[in-house]
Amino acid sequence: MKILYSPASPYSTKVRMAAHYAGLPAESVLTDTNSNPPDLIASNPLGKIPTLVLDSGQAIFDSSVIMRYIDRETKGALYPRNPEKRVQAEVLEALCDGICDSLLAIVYEKRFHPPEKVHEPWIERQWEKVERALDYLDANMPKTGTKLHAGHFALAATLRYIELRFAGEWQKGRSKLKNWPDKFEKQFPDYKLFKA
């Protein structure tokens, strides 16, 4: 079993950390999506990462689908059994994935357009979404009890990505959120292994 990934991808980081935490034996295979590698294209026609390839050759893609697969295979290691707590974990994961969607939209707008073609109103709109979501998270910090869940891994991956691409641009006025990765690392010491 292998996870095709890129170290800078927050979705890959989320999945790889969760698989490690849950004890799913999956080899991480570094993948350059820009070169349309045959392994990736054969497994995922969208050419996106992460993609989980099972020993049977079956491919599972989209990070949230992979997370649910890991949860099933590890008998509920990632999502709480209690329905209310499960919904909270799923909503946190969705919020963090949405933040990453907006951050990537900004990165791609700047990366693939010459400066004179960059559409600043689009960037501002995406950054507004990020700011609102970060404010919401800071005001509604997720509890990290004795057991971590999928939402925690999504948040950890999101904060690592925003610090990678937008260092110093998100922490002001969000002290709880800024300090959260240290709390997470106390519960998941291997967090340091998943740096971009």
Position 145 confidence tier, pLDDT thresholds 50, 70, 90: confident
The DSSP secondary structure of 31-88, one letter per residue, reads --GGG--HHHHHH-TT--S-EEE-TTS-EEESHHHHHHHHHHHTTSSSS-SSHHHHHH
Confidence of residue 45 (pLDDT cuts 50, 70, 90): very high
pLDDT in tens, 149-176: 999 999 999 999 999 999 999 999 999 9
> pLDDT (tens digit, 9 = 90+) per residue, 57-97?
999 999 999 999 999 999 999 999 999 999 999 999 999 99
Q: Decide if 28 contacts 66 (C-beta within 8 A).
A: no
Give exposure, 93-130, as e/b (b: 16+ Cβ within 10 Å).
bebbbebbebbbbbbebeeeeeeeeeeeeebeebbebb
Q: What is the mean pLDDT of the chain?
A: 96
Cα–Cα distance, 76 to 168 (Å, whole number): 36
Span 111-138, mean pLDDT?
96
Share above pLDDT 70 across residues of the chain, in percent, rounded to a whole number: 100
Q: Is the pLDDT of residue 196 over 80?
A: no
